[in-house]
Amino acid sequence: MNDTVNIISNHRSIRKFQSEQLTTEQIHTIIGAAQQASTSSYVMAYTVIGITDETVKARLKEVSGQDYVKENGHFFVFCADLNRIYQQATPEEQKAMQESIESTEQFLVSTVDTALVAQNTVIAAESMGLGTCFIGSLRNNINRVNDILELPDYVVPLFGMAVGYPDENPDKKPRLPIDAVYHENKYNTDYQFQRELIDNFNEELKTYYQTRSNNTRTDTWSEQMVRKYKIANRMDVTPFIKSKNLNKR
């Protein structure tokens, strides 16, 4: 296993950081590398917003509820952005572009573009001895994040990311067995086989939860998923995205 595969394989989310801040040079190295990610038809339909203003950090922390949104070495917000492209056009051309920009296809394209850059950010940062944590909980109040960051139409904040020097060393969290997530030639609908795989995984996870250093618990993955999805959360994300004129058609 080479060094890079090792870095990818050893990923843990870090939720406690030393106070040392990233330098501008580090941020530019990370984002500059991340930008080289593939992009659908060269659209580069994302904007990353780096948060250095403590007041802004505090506001975002309030939305997320997580201390590490404020206490970190740097904080990024990753936005799907089709506004930049829209701004390239004359008012007449803009009219003609609306049907495409406002489609689900283009919301999907910009979301994937943004996520590819974000994962490059994670791997680049980790290779430099930094830790990272995705902050999906910015979507707890996505309208508020929109206001805090003064986002124009056609821009949606997808998630945040805390980065910094780790001040904890969490255990590596198990993942589903490869046969559960990797199928061959078609989707494997042998649910009896899948059930056995996941039963084994649930057992492995129980052991992990009972033996990990912090925050021991006893539930299985299947239980967690059913409990989580029985409650429909963040249903305001749907009208919010439409209010930004994306995912509308």
Task: Decide whether 21 or 194 has the Cβ nearer to a second copy.
Answer: 194
Angle at 130 between CA 8 and CA 59, to 5 degrees: 115
What 3-state class would DSSP assign to 166? strand
Which position among 42, 91, 213, 215 is part of the footprint of a second copy (CB under 8 A)?
42
124 binds a second copy (CB under 8 A): yes
Residues 60-89 that bind a second copy (CB under 8 A): 79, 84-89
Which position among 62, 127, 206, 208 is part of the footprint of a second copy (CB under 8 A)?
127
For the bound state, the minimum distance from the C-beta of residue 20 to a second copy, rounded and expressed in Å, comes to 19
Give the interface segment with a second copy, choosing from 64-72, 163-171, 183-191, 207-215 (CB under 8 A): 183-191
Give the interface segment with a second copy, choosing from 15-23, 61-69, 208-216, 227-235 (CB under 8 A): 227-235
Task: Decide whether 15 or 71 has the Cβ nearer to a second copy.
Answer: 15
Distance CA(223)–CA(205), nearest Å, equals 12
151 binds a second copy (CB under 8 A): yes
Which position among 15, 17, 22, 51 is part of the footprint of a second copy (CB under 8 A)?
51
- CA-based nearest residue to 75, from 58, 56, 50, 53: 50
- Contact between residue 82 and residue 244 where contact means Cβ atoms under 8 Å apart: no
Give the interface segment with a second copy, choosing from 15-23, 62-70, 208-216, 237-245 (CB under 8 A): 237-245
Token pair recorded at residue 80: 């799907």
Which position among 25, 191, 211, 213 is part of the footprint of a second copy (CB under 8 A)?
191
DSSP assignment, residue 174?
P
25 binds a second copy (CB under 8 A): no
Task: Decide whether 18 or 26 has the Cβ nearer to a second copy.
Answer: 26
DSSP assignment, residue 175?
-
| 202-205 own/partner pairs: CB under 8 Å, 24+ apart | 204/174, 205/174
Task: Decide whether 36 or 216 has the Cβ nearer to a second copy.
Answer: 36
Find residue 13's DSSP bridge partners: 132
200 binds a second copy (CB under 8 A): no
Token pair recorded at residue 179: 């046969």
Q: Is the dihedral of CA 18, 66, 115, 55 positive or negative?
A: negative
Which position among 25, 41, 213, 218 is part of the footprint of a second copy (CB under 8 A)?
41
Count residues contacting a second copy (CB under 8 A)? 117
Distance CA(117)–CA(49), nearest Å, equals 13
159 binds a second copy (CB under 8 A): yes
Q: What is the DSSP string of 74-113?
A: EEEEEEEE-HHHHTTS-HHHHHHHHHHHTSHHHHHHHHHH
Give the interface segment with a second copy, choosing from 63-71, 150-158, 163-171, 207-215 (CB under 8 A): 150-158
